[in-house]
Structure formats: structure tokens, C-alpha cells
A and B are shown apart, each in its own frame.
Chain A
Amino acid sequence: MPMDEKTKTLQEDFEKNFADLELVIGWETGFDRLHATPVFIRQPSELGKLVWNPLCSQNLSGYLAKNLDASIQEDGKKIGICVKGCDSRSLVALIQENFIDRDRLYIVGIPCEGTVDLRRLMHLKPSLENVRKVDIEGDEAVVETDQETLRFPIENVLARKCLRCLYPNPVIYDTMIGTPLKPRISEDKLYSAVEKFDTSDRKQRLAFWKTEFNRCIRCYACRNACPLCVCQDNCIAESRKPKWLTQRDGIREKFLFHMIHGLHLAGRCTECGE
């Protein structure tokens, strides 16, 4: 199903069911057509803002556990949310841990052909402007601007998470928009990057992580974006009691912070790429 049609079906579906919903979380066009930002809709008249396109890469499920009351309400009103395949896995993980109630949600699942990593796109074409539309057609990402139509092979512009996605289709949903898709890779290729990395020498691996983590500024944005990092103000990276990390900026603190993030996500991370 083409992207515009999906957007339309998406809007129509929410319109039909809006009586049961108090809020719809989806994506809208950002400050230009090259950006999609989250949108929170409380009035049916605003549903026209909703869009679906390959720029809708943000995982919206994080808002449910962190910012909203996701328990069942007395009036039985639900929260409508749009999810891609990967986002739906985050939802499942949150439901498993009782952070949100399945019955509180009206989930609209969208089979996803992959999302475009804007940084990669801008890297290839830094002068990109006046974009009208971004879409994925088979193995190509198509960017239409006022002047021209550009085509990029998907390996060059898709987000990394999308190139190794095994679950393009939502695993949990009330309504699915469009037909299920086939994953782009086979299961045995899923961890090829890790396997490759494992063949290197241990000292090199240590040195690699040292150089990489040394660039970390501990802004905690990775933690804040992560839908499963639910400790919020009690995060042990910031709490003083227990005190795990100091304010010092050394490789040890940086390294340990990433270990905290990694180990706290063990068995929970759905690799949504946030």
C-alpha cells in the first residue's frame, strides 16, 4: 500500500474510533517535510495532522511509561498509539513489566519498510532542501524535492536498526494498516556485526570501547530516549544514594555509565535504535 494511502487509512481509522479515545499519539510533519515529529491529538478535528512516512522513526511507546498515566481509567477511555514493528516490541516489553496496561491502549500497527536515517541522508546530500516527499520503493529510497527526484539505495540511507530488522510487522495491535511485509534479512544474519566484532583481539576491543566511550559526554540523551529506561529520577547514574557515578569526566565513569545502561536493558532491549 502506498504511503499516502496508509496515512489516509490511519486518519480514518482513528476518526472511526475516536469516541473511545482520549488521546492519540502519532507523527506529524515537522518544521519541514524532511522531518517528522511526535504529535499528541486530543481533538478529532486535529486528526488530519497525522502522517505516516519513512521519516517517522521515533519510537512513541516511551511516552506511555514515562510521561502519561497508562493505567486503566474509570471512564474506560483509551490511548491511541501508532506503532511500527520495532515500536510494538517496546510496547510488549512495557506490558510484560506492568508499566502499561494492554486494555488502556488502542494500538494501530503499521508494517514498516524501514525508516530513513536523516543523518545518513544529509551526509550523502548535504544540500537537500525543499523536500516534498520521502518514500521507500522496493530497494530504493525516493526523495522528491521541488526541483528533482532523487533515488538512493536503501543500504545507504536507512537507519541501521532497519537494515537488520526482523520484525517489520507489529507483533501486537488492534488494527493493522496495510499488509504484513517480509523482513529484509534472515534470522542468522541478525547478529553478524557482533559476531564480526567478536573475532577481533580482546585488547583491541577494549581499546575500541575506550576510544568510543571517551567521546561520550554523558548527556544521558540515550537513556532519556530509551523507552525501557523507566527509572527516571531514580536512575543510578544520577542518584547520590546509592552513588555509582561521580561528576568526574573520566573514561571510567563514561564506561561504567554505558555498562549500567547496557546491563539494565539485558533481556529487555528490543533494539528499537533510540
Chain B
Amino acid sequence: MAFIWPAAVPNAGNEIPTMLIKEKMNQILKDMLDYEAGIDAEAKPPLLTFDPGETGI
């Protein structure tokens, strides 16, 4: 299978795509807890809090 080289996404050519790591992290949190960072100043960052009622994880 041909490999999809993510650096082929806009990039001047020699940056290390560290953003991809953070994107993945945010994607997981969006999936898992429906949270997006930096939108609501009143909200608590999801890993600084918990919900006892959570099931499935």
C-alpha cells in the first residue's frame, strides 16, 4: 500500500509535522468528550476534571 506522507500537506518542505500529533490528540478528545480547547473561558479543560457518570471508557 502506498504510504500517505502527511508532510505533503502544505509545508515548506522540511518542517517536522509535530502539529499532527496535537491534531490527533484534539481529534480524540473531540470524539471522546466532545471538547474543543480554547472556546469557552468558563469550561474546564477535560483532563483537569472528571465525570463519575462516564461510561464506556
> Would A and B touch once assembled, by the CB under 8 A criterion?
yes
> With A90-B38, A265-B25 in contact, is A96–B44 under 8 Å at CB?
yes
The reply to whether B10 and A213 contact each other, CB–CB distance below 8 Å, is no
B57 beta carbon closer than 8 Å to chain A: no
The reply to whether B38 and A93 contact each other, CB–CB distance below 8 Å, is yes
The reply to whether B26 and A271 contact each other, CB–CB distance below 8 Å, is yes
Q: Within 8 Å CB of A263, what residues of B?
A: 25
Q: Within 8 Å CB of B39, what residues of A?
A: 89, 92, 167, 171
> With A120-B12, A193-B6, A266-B29 in contact, is A258–B21 under 8 Å at CB?
yes
- A91-B7 Cα distance, complex, nearest whole Å: 28
Query: Which applies to chain B's interface (DSSP): helix, strand, loop or mixed?
Result: loop
The reply to whether A267 and B47 contact each other, CB–CB distance below 8 Å, is yes
Which of A7-15, A41-49, A131-139, A155-163 forms contacts with chain B? A155-163
Q: Which of the residues A93, A163, A258 comes within 8 Å of B10, measured between beta carbons?
A: A163
Q: Within 8 Å CB of B46, what residues of A?
A: 267
B55 beta carbon closer than 8 Å to chain A: no
A268 beta carbon closer than 8 Å to chain B: yes
Q: Within 8 Å CB of A122, what residues of B?
A: 12
The reply to whether A193 and B37 contact each other, CB–CB distance below 8 Å, is no
Query: Which applies to chain A's interface (DSSP): helix, strand, loop or mixed?
Result: helix
- A213-B4 Cα distance, complex, nearest whole Å: 17
The reply to whether B10 and A120 contact each other, CB–CB distance below 8 Å, is yes
The reply to whether B11 and A216 contact each other, CB–CB distance below 8 Å, is no
- A93-B45 Cα distance, complex, nearest whole Å: 8
Measured CB to CB, the closest approach of chain B to A155, in angstroms, equals: 7
Q: Within 8 Å CB of A190, what residues of B?
A: 27
User: Which chain B residues numbered 1 to 22 have a C-beta less than 8 Å away from chain A?
Assistant: 1, 3-7, 9-22
- A195-B27 Cα distance, complex, nearest whole Å: 9
Q: Which of the residues A120, A191, A196, A208 comes within 8 Å of B27, measured between beta carbons?
A: A191
The reply to whether B37 and A267 contact each other, CB–CB distance below 8 Å, is yes
> With A90-B38, A92-B38 in contact, is A97–B24 under 8 Å at CB?
no
Q: Within 8 Å CB of B6, what residues of A?
A: 193, 196-197, 208
The reply to whether A269 and B3 contact each other, CB–CB distance below 8 Å, is no
Measured CB to CB, the closest approach of chain A to B54, in angstroms, equals: 15
The reply to whether A89 and B37 contact each other, CB–CB distance below 8 Å, is yes
> With A194-B27, A267-B46, A269-B26 in contact, is A262–B21 under 8 Å at CB?
yes
Q: Within 8 Å CB of B14, what residues of A?
A: 215
The reply to whether A269 and B10 contact each other, CB–CB distance below 8 Å, is no
B-contacting residues of A (Cβ < 8 Å)? 88-93, 95-97, 102, 117, 119-120, 122-123, 155, 158-161, 163, 167, 171-172, 190-191, 193-197, 199-201, 204, 208, 212-213, 215-216, 222, 258, 261-263, 265-271, 273
21 A–B contacts from the bound complex (CB under 8 Å): A93-B38, A117-B12, A123-B13, A160-B10, A160-B11, A161-B19, A171-B39, A191-B24, A194-B24, A197-B6, A216-B16, A222-B18, A261-B18, A262-B21, A263-B25, A267-B25, A267-B46, A268-B45, A270-B37, A271-B23, A271-B26
